[in-house]
Structure 1
Amino acid sequence: MRIGSWYLSWCHGHLAIKSSQCAGRSRSGKHSSLFPSQASVATFNSIMADGIVTTPETGSSSADAVQPPRNTLAPAPDTIEPVASSPQNVLSSKDSTRSDVQPQNQPLRFVESSASSSGDEIGPADGPSSAAPFKKSRHGKFAYSDRYEPGEYVIEQLSEYDDVDLVKPWQRKLILIHPIVIVWVFLTYVAYYGYRVWCNYQFRVVYGGLAEASWIFIVVEGVILLPYLSWMAVLLLSLGNRKRPKLRLRGEAVPTVDVLFTTCGEVVPMIINTVRGACNIDYPRDRYRIIICDDDADPNLAEALQPLIAEYPNLVYQARVKVEGVPHHYKAGNLQSGIDYAVHLPGGPAEYLATLDADMIPHPEWLRAILPHLLRDPELALVSPPQTFWNVPADDPLCQSICEFIHYLEPRKDHMGAAWCTGSGVVFKRFIVDELGGWPTPSMAEDQLLSFMMNGAGYKTAYLHEFMQVGMVPESIINHLKQRTRWAVGTLETAQELNWGLPGKYTKHMTFPQRWCIFTFAFNTIMAIPVFIAYFIIPALLYWGRDLLVYVTDDQLRWQIRLCAIWVVSLRINEIVLTLPSGYIQGQRSAMAWQFMTPYLAVTILRCYILPTWLGGKKIAFLASGAIRDRLKERSEMHRAGLWTRIKLMGIHCRIWFFVLFVPYCLGAAGLDWYRAYSQPSTNASLRHLLVNSMLPPMWWLFLAISFCIPILYVFRPPTVPDRDDMMNFDQKTGAGQPKHQEIRQTWGFLPLVREVAWGLTVVYVLVLFVGTFVY
């Protein structure tokens, strides 16, 4: 089914799940749960611990059941029925207590499930026996679940905006005018850039010289701005305000969900706390299962989980079997192992899949908030909530909270129909994942690839802008750098698999905005290499001593200064409009983070994609965010390593020595240029020299030096984060800990404040220059 627009208009009314992909309808009757009793699950867990499953049909044992074959079942397009809607049964927050709403104690009706959500036709009881241990239902067929009829789901609309608590009305108005500001920035830069090129041409015609430094600077500045302008082009494809309603699924009539809880060597107490939180969400326990997918096969984790498995009948554990010499595909392989494993559980697989990372504690209403969006739209394949983090430092020097992505970029992508699977907390329709052949493995960014493949198959993806989970960022700069470089490699692998958004196997039904997102994210990632080179060239041009801006007449100089001033002020206004909806302070940090991360990304891409092995080329390895426990502990006030240890370890593993050399390299270039200006014969000549060299706005050398100081300052003054227990509120009944804060209130750090002052002075400086061109 092809999506012809960014979104189908939202229907108002009672929303319902797709009915079963079979011809028959059930007789009404008493609900037969997908999941068995606590005793049967406990028995099953003990069996699975030995790696053996005994099927009820044959009584035979299989040691391979822990690693079942991939389920490739998929429905034919003509078997997919549309979602029914009934306007009179949709509840708003005002009429949720109406007397005409179906009471909770009224007998519920079910649809006979003669086919799985993957389109698998299950034979009758007297036919050939099924290979999987499906539970025999009251209808005489092997069905892995009973489903509610569409009219039995009760969905309440709380607001017309899902982010009504996060986005203020004035911010929505700011979002509306942002495209106008973007267009203005484009126009002013084209005018300034074009006029400089024309002046360079005129200089060559009159004086016969090439003005090499000026031409190089024009190219270098264009290279640096190209990724920025491509981001702005993405935002131009998302005009208007996003409007996704805030919904809740009420009552006991809910779909079944298999939650794939992935672990890979994280700290056991943290995992146990997240498991407790997931086991105590507001959802009927016989309608969802938590499958621990342990990619590390940690015996300590398996032992620690046993009391919880005995306490919660919907909790199961499996350690993935990795065969030596066979690619295991990191997290993607772990997720697919969990999907396959669910097929062999008592009751079979659920209708929906959800993912949860080991550190991501779900909100109690997690499933009730996400599922209504999937129930109401037959073409919607997944819904993804943002990831928020409780252990981000208040001054967040590394910009780990990614607020600009969470609160601005991803909602805009959602508005244009290109929302990503963000990894954790995501809920999918299982049959669509099966239809695509399972979880994709060619990319380390497996979540990003899956969502784009769903778009290419004609399905929609959505972003729910509500806080439905809270987790942890990497607690060390080393882990942070490994995570971000892995993201970069995964982005390029995704683009390669999807033919960079061009027509191909997986992009058949994509819209232009979806294709442009694939291209832009990959293009900007690979642009780290030329941008890194450009960072070196700018100070080198100042050391060279040739003018960066040339002219034939004074009027040409005046107009270049005027156009430059207009462009710089427009750039600053755009930065303010862009960052205010997501948090102004974090927006400034994001710009700085992009600059100081560029060397790391460039080197990673070179080693992974360009250099041969004998020159240092290597394939980056996957490392979970909390899996590396080094001896720095730089964010712990009690256990932080000493300064000399931090200098040695970070200097080696994080290449801090490069930044120590680059900052003086930038400042030295400016200092040498000022010395040359001081040596000029007159004050007027000195000012002109500075104006066309080191003081030519926006003074790239200055902002690069400020951004590249971040890793250096981090070594000497690492942030302090309180211990986990100090940041948690523990429930006395369940023992589950919930963070006291969804997001830490951000404060100005030293370097962001320095950058802010520099930007303010730059704006004042260009305004003075602009006025001065009409006087002198």
Structure 2
Amino acid sequence: MDSEHKFEIEELPADQRALASQKYRKPLFYVAQSVVWIGYLYFLIRTLALLSSPQRTWQMWTMLGVELTFAHLARKEHLRSVTASNVAESGPRKRLRLKSTENLPRVDVLLPCCGEPVDVIMDTVRAACTMDYPVTKFRVRLLDDGGSALLKKTVSDLQVQWPHLSYHSRGRQSGQVFAKSGNLNYALTTLQNDDPPEFCAVLDADSIPNREFLRAILPHLLLNPDSALVSTRQFFSNLPEGDQLSQARCHFYTCQNAELDILGRAIDAGSGAVFRRESIVQVGMYPTFSFSEDWQLSLVLQGMSHRTMQVQEPLQFGLVPTSLTGHIAQRSRWNIGHAQQVVAMFSSKVPHLSKSLRMKIAWNGAGIVGGELGCLLAFAVIPVLLLSGSVIPNVSPFWINLQLLLAGIHISLTWLYEYIQAAHTGFESAPFAHLENKWQAGGNIYSILKFYLLTSKPKGSFITGSTANSWNRTIRLSSYMKFYKELLQNGILCNVVTLIMTLGAIFYSTATILTPNDQDAATKIFTSIAWPPLLHICYLSVSSNWVPVAYLLSPPQYPDRNSQASQDELPKKELHQNKWSILDKAGRDMAQFGSRLDLVDEAEL
């Protein structure tokens, strides 16, 4: 029994794979620290050599800029690992369960929705209403911005069985009045003013929580009075085999956010957050200046000295977009949200935030958008650099050898760090996964420009996994027309062109340099095509731009949301009554074996 909070909290056995991977924590720290300092030394020598050389071309300066771009993106990973490793308790977050049955805190479970299919929404409602928590201590509030009469009646019919369920609507909003953030703020103010709960949970319209959802998350808030919000890692029931588009975002949850969790600065970037209501109200509630309201709320909370955390357990199950168009639109929307946070910080929309906090939020957004722009330009200019000959000045052998030595060490340590980081996550994340979906950089920048130059209003639904979304509707097209649509409308042609030009430039420049009887062949090779950073970035460019091409050549098969019923030979109605035991079993299996979830249910990111 916890003496301070008077709640019985049990600590469950730790995930064995997570414990086993902890042996890589120290090597990760030392390699990260080494690559940071070697990087500083390398770029210092690199810049001095270029400045002191009488031969300075725009290609040489461009190559230095490209190197700095990718080194900076990797450096953020390295510094995060170093900082988190310096925290006394840098191990995986404990698995806790709230065992108390008396005097439990009151919780409102908020389910915002807008236009999703009623059956999908009601699956989430049923899961939320049947969570393992006293029904007198939690309410499930369905917040419908779609103004659906059918949804309202369906909820009304269930209130006899579940009196803690209620339907609320601001009317048909369809993306207006601050969209999801406005819907949640409506609940925090209008609906809760007279009878506020201590905690709130937020679930997307088709994110299925398991029965222990509240009992697994609340202990982290109850044991940490300075904590304001706990986010949960996203698990998905319809991931295709191989996850070609990195839709599971394993790197974000197991590397980036796991390290931020150690620092008390985890980012809420999806469904399934539980927060202390008083803290969210004190900071001005959900920000309404960005599509990425959950991300922005995390930054505001951290800027006002609140801790934010992340739980790695499989506590909810969602859907990923089942089309390339849907995936691209989802990622573009996220990047528009990050661009919005930059613009908003220089406007009058956030007078309650201090100037220093506004600058931090703006810098965060600028860094994300800048990373997209940097990768776009770098991938485009790589073929030119390959064909331009020497990318570093042909100075004295000493300076060339020194730069070559430091470059080789820096790139080698970078690769070593990536593999140790992957091992530290139990190989859930792949090397250089922090650049996942950078093949979409051009599309993201285009979406941001289009949003600000042509329209300032979101068009259509952003329901990513729903079959009601036009992105994911099954349209009968010939193989040729489907390929043509994906190639042109989704901008994959740019990736194909970049890929072909890069590979062609590699072969052509190699053949040009390797001429017989050339005494300076070695110098020419190592100052051009075989320059270690250039080889490294060529690999990143080819591997990144190959992703959408591979998707087009061999599209993945997404599991059908109803296939679980056919596998178990259960009728749909019976499946709804028994799915929670199916999901709970899957959660236990994942915790025990660390295997990829392959549930077939319905939910949404």
* TM range, smaller chain: 0.7 to 0.9
CA distance in 2 between counterparts of 1:707 and 1:264 reads 34
Which residue number in structure 2 is paired with residue 220 of structure 1?
66
- Over 3 Å counting, the alpha-carbon distance change for 1:224 and 1:602 in structure 2 is farther
Residues 234, 516 of structure 1: 8 Å contact kept: no
Q: 1:642 Cα shift?
A: 4.0
1:695 matched to 2:530? The reply is: yes
Amino acid at match of 1:337: Y
Unaligned runs of 5+ in 2: 598-605
Q: 1:573 Cα shift?
A: 0.4
1:308-319 → structure 2 map (5 Å cutoff): 308-319=158-169
1:625 matched to 2:464? The reply is: yes
1:755-766 → structure 2 map (5 Å cutoff): none
- Over 3 Å counting, the alpha-carbon distance change for 1:631 and 1:340 in structure 2 is closer
Amino acid at match of 1:439: Y
SS in 1 for 2:241: coil
1:595 matched to 2:438? The reply is: yes
CA distance in 1 between counterparts of 2:44 and 2:131 reads 59
1:712 matched to 2:549? The reply is: yes
1:350 matched to 2:193? The reply is: no
1:457 matched to 2:304? The reply is: yes
Amino acid at match of 2:557: T
CA distance in 2 between counterparts of 1:507 and 1:166 reads 43
Amino acid at match of 1:14: D
Which residue number in structure 2 is paired with residue 448 of structure 1?
295
Amino acid at match of 2:549: I
Amino acid at match of 1:690: I
Q: 1:727 Cα shift?
A: 4.0
| The structure with more radius of gyration | 1
Q: 1:481 Cα shift?
A: 1.4
Q: 1:644 Cα shift?
A: 1.6
1:155 matched to 2:9? The reply is: yes
Residues 232, 310 of structure 2: 8 Å contact kept: yes
Give 2:171's match in structure 1, choosing from 296, 318, 321.
321
Aligned length, in residue pairs = 575
1:682 matched to 2:529? The reply is: no
1:216-365 → structure 2 map (5 Å cutoff): 216-238=62-84, 239-240=86-87, 241-242=90-91, 244-253=93-102, 254-322=104-172, 327-343=176-192, 348-365=195-212
Q: 1:507 Cα shift?
A: 5.0
Unaligned runs of 5+ in 1: 1-12, 16-84, 86-149, 748-776
CA distance in 2 between counterparts of 1:185 and 1:266 reads 47
Q: 1:399 Cα shift?
A: 0.5
Which residue number in structure 1 is paired with residue 600 of structure 2?
none
Moved more, 419-428 or 401-410: 419-428
Per residue, is there more helix in 1 or in 2?
2
Which residue number in structure 1 is paired with residue 483 of structure 2?
647
Q: 1:666 Cα shift?
A: 1.2
Identity rate of aligned residues, in percent?
26
Scaled by the length of structure 1, what TM-score is found? 0.68
Q: 1:322 Cα shift?
A: 4.7
CA distance in 2 between counterparts of 1:474 and 1:155 reads 37
Residues 381, 432 of structure 1: 8 Å contact kept: yes
Deviations 1:74-121 (A, max 9, x none): xxxxxxxxxxx1xxxxxxxxxxxxxxxxxxxxxxxxxxxxxxxxxxxx
Amino acid at match of 2:447: T
1:553 matched to 2:390? The reply is: no
Residues 295, 320 of structure 1: 8 Å contact kept: yes
Give 1:380's match in structure 2, choosing from 222, 227, 243.
227
Residues 147, 169 of structure 2: 8 Å contact kept: yes
Q: 1:654 Cα shift?
A: 1.0
- Over 3 Å counting, the alpha-carbon distance change for 1:303 and 1:648 in structure 2 is farther
- Over 3 Å counting, the alpha-carbon distance change for 1:376 and 1:224 in structure 2 is closer
CA distance in 2 between counterparts of 1:586 and 1:575 reads 9
CA distance in 2 between counterparts of 1:492 and 1:600 reads 14
1:533 matched to 2:357? The reply is: no
Residues 146, 171 of structure 2: 8 Å contact kept: no
Amino acid at match of 1:657: L
- Over 3 Å counting, the alpha-carbon distance change for 1:365 and 1:585 in structure 2 is closer
- Over 3 Å counting, the alpha-carbon distance change for 1:245 and 1:583 in structure 2 is closer
Amino acid at match of 2:162: Y
Which residue number in structure 2 is paired with residue 52 of structure 1?
none
RMSD of aligned alpha carbons: 3.3
- Over 3 Å counting, the alpha-carbon distance change for 1:259 and 1:341 in structure 2 is farther
1:663 matched to 2:499? The reply is: yes
CA distance in 1 between counterparts of 2:542 and 2:465 reads 31
Residues 595, 704 of structure 1: 8 Å contact kept: no
Which residue number in structure 1 is paired with residue 425 of structure 2?
582
